[in-house]
Amino acid sequence: MDKKKMKILVVVEVVVLVALIVVLMMLKGGYEETAKRSSNEQVKNYLDKNTQVLVDQWRAVDQYSMAWKLVHTVLSGAKTEAAFNTSLAAIQADKDARFKQISHLYSSVGINADVQNGIFKKAGLVEESILLKNEKTSKEVACGQNCVVKFNFVKGKLKNVDYSALIQYNLANSLKIEKPAEFRFE
Amino acid sequence: MNLKNIFIALTVLVFGVIALFFMQKSGYADQAKANYEKNTNASYKGNSMVFDLVNTAIETNKGTWAIACEALQTVKNTQDMAKLEAKFFPATKGSMSITNKTRRFEANSSNVIVSNFAKVEENKTTGVKSLAGLLSVDVSVLLGNVVAAAESEEGSEEGEEE
C-alpha cells in the first residue's frame, strides 16, 4: 500500500475514533439517566404494590374486628333487629375504638406503633358501611376480604347468626405479598 | 512503516472504544439492578414479616372471639366452657375464680376473655365446685382495653378443677 493511501486511512480512522468517543460520551449520560430512572420507577412500582397489600390487610382487619364486635354485642344484648341496627351504627361510628382494636391485634404480635401508624396513615379506616345486605329478615355484614357474616331475623327477633366465615377467616387466601420481579433495564 | 503502526494502533483503539460501549451499558445496568434488588428485597422482607405476623395474630384472635360468641349461645356452666375452650385451643385451659364467679381464658396475654357466672354449684358426691348460669362474657381485652380487664382480675383466686 502506498504512503498516500495509508495517510488517508489513518485520517479516516482518527475521524471514526473521535466520532466514536463523542457518541460514547453522549450515550454515557443517557445510560446513566436510563438506569437511574428505570431502577427508581421499578422500585416505586414494587413498593406501591407491596404497601397496598398491607393497606388492604389493615382495612380487612378493621372489617374483621367490627364484625366480631357486632356478633358479640348482638348475642350479648337484646337479640333484636333494632339492637342489631343500633349496635352496628355505634360500632362503625366509634373510630377511636376501631383503631384501638386493630392496634391491639397488631401489637399482640409485636408490630410496633411506628409501623402501625405508617400503615394507618395510608389505609385509614374503612369509610363504607360493612352492611352489605339489609332486609327485614336477613342482614349481611362484611368481615374482611371474601368474608360475610349472616344474621337472620323472624318478626324482629334474632333467629340465628352464621359467623362461620369469621371462624375460618384466613387473609392469606385473598392477599399475598409478591416477590420482586426480575429487574428490566429499559 | 510508521504510518502502518499508527494505523494498527488506531484500529485497536476503535475496537477498544466499541467494547467500551457495551461495558458501559452493562455497568449501569448492573448498578441499577443492584439498587433495585436492595430496595425491593428489603421491602419484601419487612412487609412479608408484618403480613405474616398479622395473619398469625388473627389465628389466635378469631379462636378467642369464637369461644366468647359460642359461649353466649351454648354455655351453661364452667364444664361447658372448658369443653368449648378445648375445642379451639386444646393445649390451653381457663382458670376459675370461685370468689369472683368468673372463668378466665387466656390464649395469650392479648387474647383474654372473662366469663361471668351467676352462681357456684357444688357436686355433693365429689365436693368439686363449679360455676353455673352464664351472665356475660367480657371481651374488653380483645377490644384493646387491656388495663381495665387486667385490673378487674386483681384479687381473683383459683377455683377447684372441674
Per-residue pLDDT of chain B (162 residues; tens, 9 = 90+): 588 888 889 899 989 988 888 888 888 888 899 999 999 999 999 999 999 999 999 999 999 999 999 999 999 999 999 999 999 999 999 999 999 999 999 999 999 999 999 999 998 898 889 999 999 999 999 999 975 444 444 434 444 444
Interface test with A, best of B40, B52, B73, B136 (most A CBs within 10 A): B40
Whether residues B142 and A104 touch (CB distance < 8 A) is answered with yes
- Residue A106: which residues within 8 A CB-CB, separation 6 or more? A61, A115, A116, B53, B54, B57
Domain ranges of chain A: 53-173
Whether residues A104 and B146 touch (CB distance < 8 A) is answered with yes
Residue whose C-alpha is closest to residue A97's, from B25, B139, B1: B139
Q: Which percentage of chain A shows pLDDT scores above 70?
A: 99
Interface test with B, best of A104, A115, A158 (most B CBs within 10 A): A104
Q: How close A86 gets to chain B, by Cα (Å)?
A: 18
Q: Are strands A148-154 and A138-142 parallel, antiparallel or unpaired?
A: antiparallel
Q: Which residue of B has its CA nearest to A24?
A: B21
**What is the largest distance, in Å, between two alpha-carbon atoms of chain A?**
113
Give the pLDDT band of residue A172 (cuts 50, 70, 90).
Answer: confident
Quickly count: other Cβ atoms within 10 Å of residue B6's Cβ. 16
Residue A128 near residue A60, CB atoms below 8 Å: no
> What are the beta bridge partners of residue A28?
none
Q: How close A46 gets to chain B, by Cα (Å)?
A: 7
The C-alpha angle B12, B16, B17, rounded to 5 degrees, equals: 120
How many domains are there within chain B? 1
